[in-house]
Amino acid sequence: MVAVRRRLRGADPDGAAGGRADRRRDLDRGRHPGLPRAAGPPETVFDISCFRRDPLPFYDFTRDFLGAIDRIEPTFSHRFLAALEREGRLAAVVTQNIDSLHQKAGSRRVISVHGDYWTSRCLNCGRLFDLEHMKRAAFEAPAPHCPCGGLIKPDVVFFGEPVLGLEEAAAEVAAADLLLVLGSSLAVYPAAFLPSYATGEVVVINRGEVGLPPGPRRYFVDAELDAYLAEVAAVLRGGGSAPPLS
Ligand SMILES: [Zn+2]
């Protein structure tokens, strides 16, 4: 882990993408226990055909969610990854979280495979809207509509929609000297397949079991993410001793 080289890719909490089980947890709760739950079953609230028929359950969730993410601050791990990017040591973050906390922490190159609320678009004409617009529009009408009359949908990937940026994510992983997999059990595809593209070292930092077999140049750390990365940050600053790898 101390071998942070020229370029470093971070694949963050929950690795990269996920299947239905991961999505359910992700959308239902977000990564933070403080985030709201959807009022209805995620399978219908976040289903694209249900949304087109009746967007209100999703927008009820969205109003709660937008209020909550405004109150939540990025964690140490979010800020650490943003700092590494500013220093030119991190090339990209791949995440399946939809909370935009990486962007809030200052990360610039974020591949959000499940999309996020950073942008929204009209389902009719494709016009783009930013997060600030959504924050207003979601509270001005039960479901925001475009001037053309079309329904607006945040660029969050719903059930029934393809995940985003997987090829781009795989290319970043393949080009990385070091892949960090942070806070992910790597149990669910397509998230789980990304480390197989790695050509450099892979360091997995996660509390609990991880669905990635041991292999050459693979290192596993069973630790609480923020605490462990704080130790790593101290080492990078030239103090402290290297935290253990297994
Ligand atoms: Zn439109």
Q: Are residues 109 and 171 in the same domain?
A: yes
Burial letters for 103-135: b for 16+ Cβ neighbours within 10 Å, e otherwise? bbbebeebbbbbbbbbbbbbbeeeeebebeebb
Q: Do 133 and 229 have their domain in common?
A: no
Tens-place pLDDT, residues 49-68: 999 999 999 999 999 999 88
- Of the three residues 156, 187, 220, the one that is the final residue of a domain is 156
**102 and 3 inside one domain:** yes
The residue segments making up the domain with residue 237 are: 1-28+74-114+163-246
Q: Are residues 127 and 55 in the same domain?
A: yes
Q: According to the model, what pLDDT value does residue 8 have?
A: 45
User: 106-110, 160-164, 216-220: lowest mean pLDDT where?
Assistant: 160-164
Better-scored residue on pLDDT, 19 or 203: 203
In a shared domain, residues 102 and 134: no
CA distances from residue 135 to 42, 62, 132, 146 in whole angstroms, order as listed: 21, 9, 5, 14
Domain end among 100, 133, 156: 156
CA of 57 to the centre of ligand 1 (A): 21
CA distance 2 to 97: 26
146 and 167 in a single domain? The answer is: no
Task: Write out pLDDT tens, residues 67-96.
Answer: 888 888 999 999 999 999 999 999 999 988
Read off the CATH number of the domain in which 132 is found: 3.30.1600.10
55 and 16: one domain?
A: no
Of the candidates 78, 102, 114, 145, the residue annotated as catalytic is 114
Among the ranges given (206-215, 224-233, 237-246), the one the predictor scored with the smallest mean pLDDT: 237-246
pLDDT (tens digit, 9 = 90+) per residue, 124-172? 999 999 999 999 999 999 999 999 999 999 999 998 888 889 999 999 9
- From the CA of 151, how far away is ligand 1's center (Å)? 7
Q: Are residues 17 and 82 in the same domain?
A: yes
- 113: which DSSP letter? T
86 and 20 within one domain = yes
**Portion of the chain with pLDDT greater than 70, in percent:** 79
CA of 131 to the centre of ligand 1 (A): 16
Give per-residue pLDDT as tens, 170-210.
999 999 999 999 988 887 766 778 899 999 999 999 998 88
Q: Say what the pLDDT of residue 36 is.
A: 65
Q: What value does the mean pLDDT of the chain take?
A: 82
Give 153 Cα–ligand 1 centroid separation in angstroms.
11
Return the CATH number at 224.
Answer: 3.40.50.1220
Residue 114 designated active-site: yes
- The pTM score is 0.76
129 and 81 fall within a common domain: no
Q: What count of other Cβ atoms lies within 10 Å of the Cβ of residue 241? A: 9
CA of 146 to the centre of ligand 1 (A): 5
Domain boundary among 126, 156, 186: 156
If asked whether residues 213 and 246 sit together in one domain, one would say yes
Residue 217 has pLDDT above 50, yes or no: yes
Number of domains in the chain: 2
Kindly state whether residues 95 and 46 are assigned to the same domain.
Answer: no
